[in-house]
Amino acid sequence: MTPDQPAAPRSRTARPGTGRPVPRSGGTPRLREAVRGRGRAASQARPRGTAAASRPPRRPPRVNVLDALRGLQQRVRRAWDRPLTAYYLLLGGSLLILVLGLVMVYSASQIKALQSGLAPSYFFRKQLFAAALGGALMLLAVRMPIKLHRAFAYPLLAVSLFLMCLVQVPGMGIAVNGNQNWISFGGPFLLQPSEFGKLALVLWGADLLARKQDKRLLAQWKHLLVPLVPATGMLLGLIMLGGDMGTAIILTAILFGLLWLAGAPTRLFAGVLAFAGLIGMVLIKTSANRMSRLACIGATEPGANDQCWQAVHGIYALANGGWFGSGLGASMEKWGELPEPHTDFIFAITGEELGLAGTLSVLVLFAALGYAGIRVAGRTEDPFVRYAAGGVTTWITAQAVVNIGAVLGLLPIAGVPLPLFSYGGSALLPTMFAVGLLIAFARAEPGARAALAMRQPALRKKLARVRRKTMRRPVKRRPSGER
């Protein structure tokens, strides 16, 4: 081949018998269609099940249990770490406890009201009114700025001390169940000032410790204890004059919670704890009533003079409930057998009517409140928010533990209500204000504030979309003579 000649085309395999090369594209369209037709005919002629029988069965992919658990753990951790988790836990948990408490107050107090010659819904209506008033206080606490909370602490402490002094004035203070810690305002309206003393101690103690931390004075034990411990001792003295040991225990727990958050040294903390324990033992030893309550821990029989009657019948109520309870309203212990079924021992009636499932639900809700409060106290950089959130969380969880422990027979009966659950407006109002305080602190977190600001435009769009869908076109009215 000379350079002037063109290059020869690449050789193709000749078709047998014709000498024609096979094209690279796989043949002409007719040839490709014929090959496809033969393939379809062969597949139709093949008996069914041949291809399935020739292929091995597909095995489902193996699921690693450890990987699945790790993935679930990561998803739960991401959900817990969201900025609005504490906000939703506080709001939803407190409302659920309140609603369930209203239902159980109505169920547990009907027989008590009828025995007193009242309407069956008497206690429920009073509790519902207190819950509505407490809801307004909760909303007020959520909307109040932190500076106003700090300024509100000192007047509240002064008013609480004044009212607790009025309790001891003859003719003004009223004794209920052997404890003189109530003030009567005429008719059925009673007020227990010591319940508001808990809120006053939390706010005042948080503001006091925050100001001292700003001045870097908490490293000195004198500034750590004074005047926090003397003021708490004054509140405890006024409470113990009325004989209310249960409220004194809760105030002591709040004091220890504030000292722990302030970073009290272990020896100082242990010293204060030992001193408080010594005072408590002296007060218990000098009272036959308190000694009998201490002797009823773990009792299974009423004992001499039925001194453990309430503790034993609380256990009976829980035992009758079983797994899922006897049904709402079907309690037998509330028919005069169990004293205080709608106040201190409402948890026992809950266990009898709703069973173990109901009591565990209540425990889970209180655990959620405790976790959310600890999270708010641990994530903030404001010292007042940390002390106030820690104090409120200590207050609610300690009171719940004391009440439930007494019903279960693990602790002596202290006479404290279950927060947000038991009957009693004097206990419900400051507790709901304290929960509103926690919700305000949870909303004030930087991440929560940003998340709420981002959700407002989306919520407005959804509302506008719903309004457009539900809007009806106006229909023109026809004249009366027109059909």
Whether the predicted pLDDT of 483 surpasses 50: no
The structure's pTM equals 0.80
Give the amino acid at 218.
Answer: L
pLDDT band at 3 (very low <50, low <70, confident <90, very high): very low
Only one residue has tokens 């489902």, namely 60
Find, among 125, 251, 233, the residue nearest to 188 by Cα.
125
Can you give the pLDDT at residue 112? 92
pLDDT tens, position by position, 401-455:
999 999 999 999 988 999 999 999 999 999 999 999 999 999 988 777 777 777 7
- What is the phi-psi region of residue 15: left when phi exceeds 0, alpha when psi lies from -120 to 50, beta otherwise? beta
pLDDT at 388: 97
Q: What is the pLDDT of residue 395?
A: 97
Residue 354 tokens read as 């709703």
Three state DSSP letters for 107-136: HHHHHHHHHCCCCCCHHHHHHHHHHHHHHH
Burial (CB count <10 Å: 0-12, 13-18, 19+), residue 266:
exposed
Q: What is the rounded end-to-end Cα distance, in angstroms, of the chain?
A: 102
Among 221-235, 259-273, 405-419, name the one with the lowest average pLDDT: 259-273
Tell me the average pLDDT across 152-167. 94
